[in-house]
Amino acid sequence: MPAEDRPVRNGNGTPAAAEGPARRPRRRSAETRAAREQVDEIFRQWQTERPDIDPTPVRIYGLIGQIHLQATAFIDDVLAPYGLVRGTYDVLTALRRAGAPYCLTPKVLSRHLLLSGAGLTSRLNKLEDLHLVARLPEPSDRRTVRIQLTAAGEDVINEVIPVVFAAQAARLEPLGDDGRQRLLERLNELADAIALLGSRQTGAAPAPDAD
């Protein structure tokens, strides 16, 4: 690997990017209430304010939304020593999953990440500043470029992926194997039901399975 592509390391072996964002301070207890408690409060408020409407869906969709926010927060905490956040991490993992030479066009990246062109450009600019990705000219079309992991980017994402997966697994551990499998099955059922209803309303075919 060329020396200029290797991530600069600190004395403790962590990437130099760790000098950037610091870990978030521990939030106050009022701000770290369990997602269930926050959603239950919203549910009770709707029961009081609109007793003529069944607010049960609020509990389900609200809980999913709160879990997403909390998951993003703890993943950001895990990524902070590497100078990354969830958004930039997602770009790196999309490139890494693509396989060698870890290269995709912006159009394909946007589709994988469900991002607008402007949203992707912002993330790419940050990663390029960290020397983790490079924009390369597309030989067959001068109007576009390819986005490729640098050697430094490959090193960083290979180090970060197991750390993030371990943090996610730790929060699923209390469910046990059976609980995790049941949760996955029910979430798949919900995702299928939402996709089917959406396709009926728009007249479009259901979306293909994820890559």
Structure tokens at 71: 């998951």
How high is the pLDDT of residue 34? 73
Taking the chain (211 residues) in consecutive chunks of 10 residues, what is each chunk's mean pLDDT?
A: 45 44 45 74 94 93 91 95 96 96 94 90 96 90 88 97 97 96 96 86 58 45
CA distances from 26 to 21, 22, 98, 141 (A): 15, 12, 36, 49
How high is the pLDDT of residue 4? 42
Rg (CA), the chain: 21
How high is the pLDDT of residue 208? 54
Tell me which residue has tokens 């640098």: 150
CA gap 204, 199 in Å, rounded: 5
Structure tokens at 202: 């728009």
pTM of the model: 0.75
CA gap 89, 178 in Å, rounded: 30
How high is the pLDDT of residue 203? 64
How high is the pLDDT of residue 68? 92
CA gap 56, 89 in Å, rounded: 34
In the three-class reduction of DSSP (H, G, I as helix; E, B as strand; rest coil), residue 57 is classed as helix
Structure tokens at 134: 């490079």
How high is the pLDDT of residue 8? 45
